[in-house]
Amino acid sequence: MSVNEVEQKWEPKILVFACNWCTYAGADLAGLGRLQYPPNARILRVPCSGRVNPQFIIKAFQRGVDGVLVAGCHPGDCHYTTGNYFTRRRFLLMRRLMEYMGMEPERLQNRWISGSEGPKVQQVITEITEEIRALGPNRKLRDDQWNN
């Protein structure tokens, strides 16, 4: 199989860190409404988007994920009051760090999705999948490159 054929068969892997109280409920609503989004995304429920440690994001990229979405409650609506404000600050710092490391900062996305926005979950995951597909595979932080 040639490199070109492998590139054509490649599908992006996307990890979604979803706030339990809002985004995960929105994804559940999307499922109940039978709204389909690309199967490229794996949703990981977290108590709050503010609990997503930057090391989790780095580790996801090292393990071969091509894109990461951190999604939580709209600012001001956080179940834990200020969690999404921490998320916003960390997100900006992480994107700068990724740029410094030579990665495309677009591989890390942040969205605010409430529990009643099932169609928005579908729309956001579809958009991000297309953006990551256009960027191509993550080749910067892969563990297999560092273990040699």
Q: Spell out the domain ranges in the chain.
A: 14-142
Per-residue pLDDT tens for 14-60?
999 999 999 999 999 999 999 999 999 999 999 999 999 999 999 99
User: Rounded CA gap, 34 and 43, in Å?
Assistant: 16
Tokens 């997503």 locate to 52
Q: What pTM was estimated for this model as a whole?
A: 0.90
**Which pLDDT score is estimated for 140?**
79
Residue 148: pLDDT band (50, 70, 90) is very low
Query: Does residue 7 have a pLDDT over 90?
Result: no
Query: Does residue 114 have a pLDDT over 90?
Result: yes
Angle at 15 between CA 82 and CA 98, to 5 degrees: 75
Q: Among 6-15, 31-40, 65-74, 126-135, whose mean pLDDT is lowest?
A: 6-15
Which CATH architecture fits 14-142?
3-Layer(aba) Sandwich (3.40)
Nearest CA-CA partner of 87 in 111, 103, 63: 111
- Report which of residues 88 and 148 the model is more confident about: 88
Q: Give, in order, the Cα–Cα distances in Å from 115 to each of 8, 82, 112.
A: 36, 18, 10
